[in-house]
Structure 1
Amino acid sequence: MNIDRLAAILKQAAKQEIVPRFRRLDEGMIQTKTGAFDLVTEADTNAERVITAAIRDHSPDILVIGEEAVAANPRLLDSSLEDRIVIYVDPVDGTANFAGGLPLFAVMAAVVQNGEPVAGVIYDPMGDDFLMAEKGCGTWQVFPDGRRIRMKYADPVPLAEMGGLASTAFFPLEQRRTILGNLAKVKMSANYRCAGHEYRFAAGGNVHFLAYGKLMPWDHVAGALMMREAGAHVAKFDGSPYRPGDLGGGLLVAPDQASWTELRREVFAI
């Protein structure tokens, strides 16, 4: 599927199903999944339905795997990625922010062909612009008027000068204690509770590292491709490449391999 068509599908779903519900959710429109910060709203389910239908209408042979579809049928994650095209969809990334009225949420999709990520789109409904990447073509911010700016990841700096975004909630307790203590070695760390916006921020060179303990394909396949295309070093904590089928092993993004190794040793020593 053409990446511009995919982007248009995400934008239409956001304007139809997500934006009209922002700060207009009644109590019955929000449900808890696994915990207080794992929510689903009518915007999530309706947007995913619209996105999935639009992709299938255009390309019936594509397998669409959405976050909410997997919540209903976890076996979808066992689908083979070989010899086919798969599109992972996160209809509202940052649902807790969305439900709380914080304008920090995104709509994401990643295209995987024969097991390899080939394209990704992250749409910001509030800013009405996209982060887009195709394998081998760089990462670009695309504005409503058609302007395109090529993204470049941050240059290396000493550890004490690094700033980054670390999602520590899904690490085991003892590992979380270690990481949180070690983060005092860097200059700044934060967590936006929205991988889509964290990847957007990092793509523009605004932080030096990203770290995640939980890997779900709709959260990270598009973003990891974008970081590589923007010049970053991306790997799981054991140093191996991140693949779309990986659900564990964590993810660490840094300006280059030397910075990655230092962060892994000094901060994420787990």
Structure 2
Amino acid sequence: MNTSPEIADRLKLALELAVTAGRGTLKHFQKAGLVVDRKSDDSPVTVADREAETYIRNQLAERFPADGIIGEEFGVTEGTGDFRWIIDPIDGTKSFVAGVPLYGTLIGIEQAGQNVAGVIYIPGLDEMVYAAKGCGAWYKQGDAEPTLTRVSDAKSLADGVFVTSQVNTFARRDAFEAFNRLEKAAFITRTWGDCYGYLLVATGRAVAMVDPMLSVWDAAAIQPIMEEAGGAFVDWHGEPTIHSGEGIGANPHVMPEVLAICREYPRLP
């Protein structure tokens, strides 16, 4: 692997943790009696979210105790070194609660504030895509060997699939017309959302994924994967960041077309 031993060791662990934690959620998936609680922002959370993040945090504390952690369910644990892990134990909790298998476990790794590696694992489909800076993006399904993956070479939205997580988030930021224009321009539009949409872009099956609103734990794993797959992950004004509360993942041909629409809207406060 063409990266530092420190990053390689952490990526290896991230792969193990994403699979183990992700598969652990399946014991609650599509099971009767699942209790759904509401967080302060009214978003849902379940025992599966909490168990998965707790497992990951416990393993990190044992293996890399100096590393910091940000997790959706349990907040920030400060570290004493350069590395920080950013975790979303179930990205797509609403899908999980509804019994739809298009949810995933996300693990991103930062070094000195830069995203250096990321993992998306979809437990219900046993699909994974992962990357580290300078090492390419890799796709794995089931027991098959991982293979290098690339974004598509489609030249425009009209040549492929546009995906987004939830249509009404465009309206929530007064940008519903942006969705209308993207949908009209695309060959087909689907809401195969959350991290699964970005997995589709990174593996060449969709040409663009647009999120009007998202959190840092939704984005951290995505950025290195998109970049190493030959695409990009940027905010609505083209900045390659995970901290703007919004995101676009696309191949290099389609990105300018998407940005021409999204740049018309002001940044989120």
Q: Secondary structure at the match of 1:137?
A: coil
CA distance 1:174–1:200, shift in 2 (3 Å): closer
Cα pair 1:169 1:176 within 8 Å, conserved? no
Give the gaps of 5 or more residues in structure 2.
1-8
Query: Shift of residue 216 of structure 1?
Result: 1.4
Structure-2 residue corresponding to 1:67: 72
Does residue 18 of structure 2 align to residue 19 of structure 1? no
Q: CA deviation at 1:260?
A: 1.9
Letter in 2 for 1:3: L
SS state at 1:21 partner = coil
Q: Deviations over 1:72-111 (max 9, x none)?
A: xxxx39x79x962110111111111111111111111000
How high is the sequence identity, in percent, across the aligned residues? 24
Q: 1:164-223, CA deviations, whole angstroms, 9 ceiling, x for partnerless residues?
A: 112443345473321232121222122224x22111111110111111122312111111
For residue 268 of structure 1, report the CA deviation from its aligned partner: 6.2
For residues 159 and 197 of structure 1, do their structure 2 counterparts lie closer, same or farther at Cα, with a shift above 3 Å needed? closer
Distance 1:60 1:158 in 2: 46
Assess, with a 3 A threshold, how the Cα gap between structure 1 residues 13 and 181 changes in structure 2: closer, same or farther: closer
Letter in structure 2 aligned against 1:61: A
Structure-to-structure mapping, 1:27-46, within 5 angstroms: 27=34, 29-33=35-39, 34-35=41-42, 38-46=43-51
Q: Matched residues in 2 for 1:141 and 1:180: separation?
A: 29
Report the CA distance between 1:146 and its aligned residue.
Answer: 5.5
Deviation at 1:267, TM superposition (A): 6.4
- Match for 2:27: what amino acid? P
User: 1:217 & 1:266 partners in 2: Cα distance?
Assistant: 23
Describe how 1:105-124 pairs up with structure 2 within 5 A. 105-124=103-122
Does the C-alpha gap of structure 1 residues 46 and 55 become closer, same or farther in structure 2, counting only changes over 3 Å?
Answer: same
Partner of 1:3: 11
Aligned counterpart, 2:257: 262
Letter in 2 for 1:54: Q
For 2:217, the equivalent position in structure 1 comes to 218
CA separation of 1:259/1:24 partners in 2, compared to 1, >3 Å: closer, same or farther? closer
- Helix, strand or coil at the partner of 2:224: helix
- The equivalent of 1:252 in structure 2 is 248
* Matched-pair contact (CA < 8 Å) for 2:164–2:197: no
Give the letter aligned to residue 185 of structure 1: A
The TM-score, its normalising length taken from structure 1, stands at: 0.85
Structure 1 residues 66 and 228 mapped into 2: Cα distance closer, same or farther (>3 Å)? same
Distance of aligned partners of 1:53 and 1:202 in 2 relative to their CA distance in 1, 3 Å threshold: same
RMSD: 2.4
The Cα shift of 1:47 comes to 1.1
Q: How many residues align?
A: 254
For structure 1, list consecutive stretches of 5 or more residues without a partner in the other structure.
71-75
Q: Using the TM superposition, give the Cα deviation of residue 25 of structure 1 relative to its aligned residue in structure 2, in angstroms.
A: 4.7
- Taking the TM superposition and a 5 Å limit, the aligned residue runs for 1:222-233 are 222-233=221-232
Letter in 2 for 1:13: A
Q: Which residue of 1 aligns with 2:4?
A: none
TM-score (norm 2): 0.85
Mapped partners of 2:108, 2:176: distance in 1 = 32
**Structure 1 residues 115-135: Cα deviation after superposition (integer angstroms, max 9, x where no partner):** 011111111212334211001
Structure 2 residue corresponding to 1:165, chosen from 140, 163, 178: 163
